[in-house]
């Protein structure tokens, strides 16, 4: 039996912004409607009936969450000593720091989340429930497609890989507001900025090239690491306007973008000027 000590609901005005199209979700990451509940369990400590994964610290928790996202799990409950205090801090900041960590740590697999519900079960555990933009079947298709693409660039330089995939996506995808799922970018060659950016990131991760998915106020793009520095890449706008105006740019020449002031982006050693070939 579960005894409810208190039940708090935090509602953060939030949306997925997709180049002008707004999609509201009942539960999700920063920028979505978010629900948080606090419970006290009557079950004895050590009870494994809730399938709680016990880890040593926050870093191991991130490993577990990444594995859960890769496997498209619907939920996972995690415990480590002090987890209640850490999540009390996250909660006070509307979980933005946590989601920033997940974006940095999980990459593409965080990007395909459409919703997250976090339940703090007193000092017992924290339960995560996930919704996804893609299905398991769609992810299997994406995996096969991405692995085939990666093999074509085996042995090439990092720059050649980044440019080759940029050009491939520009040629193979057309902007279409009816398709927001990255699966359709690979399958039908249709999508919005989020689709372009997630497709680019998924391929970069397969190629073991450091890459981040960046969500601005009303647009999404990427950052990629070359020769020790991070550069901006906006495949969507290069497809829309042609050329390489938004390819491997630095902070001084990546015009038209409001770069989020998240901790993960602030920590990066960003290039000031465009990549020199």
State both tokens at 186. Answer: 């690979």
pLDDT tens, the chain, 277 aa long: 333 222 232 223 232 323 322 222 233 433 332 333 333 222 223 333 458 999 999 999 999 999 999 999 999 999 999 999 999 999 998 898 999 999 999 999 999 999 999 998 877 899 999 999 999 999 999 999 999 999 999 999 999 999 999 999 999 999 999 999 999 999 999 999 999 999 999 999 999 999 999 998 899 999 999 999 999 999 999 999 999 999 999 999 999 999 998 889 999 999 999 998 6
The model's pTM: 0.81
- From residue 23, how far is each of 126, 184, 213, 258 by CA, in Å? 27, 17, 19, 21
CATH for 136-267 (3.30.9.10, 3.30.950.10, 3.10.620.30, 3.40.190.10)? 3.10.620.30
State both tokens at 205. Answer: 């991760």
For residues 50 and 187, what is the distance between their CA atoms, to the nearest angstrom? 38
What are the structural domain ranges in the chain? Answer: 2-132, 136-267
Q: What is residue 50's predicted lDDT score, i.e. its pLDDT? A: 55
- From residue 218, how far is each of 16, 18, 26, 180, 258 by CA, in Å? 9, 6, 19, 14, 9
């Amino acid at each position: 039996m579960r005894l409810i000590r208190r039940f708090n609901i935090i509602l953060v005005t939030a949306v997925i912004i997709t180049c002008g199209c707004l999609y509201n979700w009942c539960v999700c990451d920063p920028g979505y409607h978010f629900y948080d509940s606090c419970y006290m369990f009557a079950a004895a400590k050590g009870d494994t009936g809730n399938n709680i994964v016990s880890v040593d610290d926050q870093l191991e928790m991130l490993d577990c969450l990444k594995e859960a996202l890769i496997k498209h799990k619907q939920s996972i409950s995690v415990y480590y000593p002090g987890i209640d205090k850490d999540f009390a801090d996250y909660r006070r900041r509307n979980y933005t720091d946590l989601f920033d960590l997940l974006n940095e740590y999980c990459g593409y697999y965080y990007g395909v989340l459409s919703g997250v519900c976090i339940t703090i079960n007193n000092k017992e555990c924290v339960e995560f429930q996930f919704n996804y933009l893609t299905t398991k079947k769609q992810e299997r298709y994406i995996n096969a497609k991405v692995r085939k693409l990666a093999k074509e660039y085996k042995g090439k330089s990092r720059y050649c890989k980044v440019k080759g995939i940029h050009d491939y996506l520009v040629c193979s995808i057309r902007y279409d507001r009816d398709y927001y799922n990255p699966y359709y970018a690979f399958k039908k060659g249709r999508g919005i900025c989020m689709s372009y950016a997630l497709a680019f990131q998924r391929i970069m991760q397969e190629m073991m090239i450091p890459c981040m998915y960046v969500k601005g106020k009303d647009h999404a793009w990427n950052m990629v690491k070359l020769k020790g520095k991070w550069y901006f890449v906006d495949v969507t706008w290069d497809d829309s306007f042609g050329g390489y105006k938004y390819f491997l740019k630095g902070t001084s020449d990546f015009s038209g973008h409001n770069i989020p002031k998240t901790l993960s982006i602030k920590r990066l050693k960003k290039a000031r000027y465009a990549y020199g070939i």
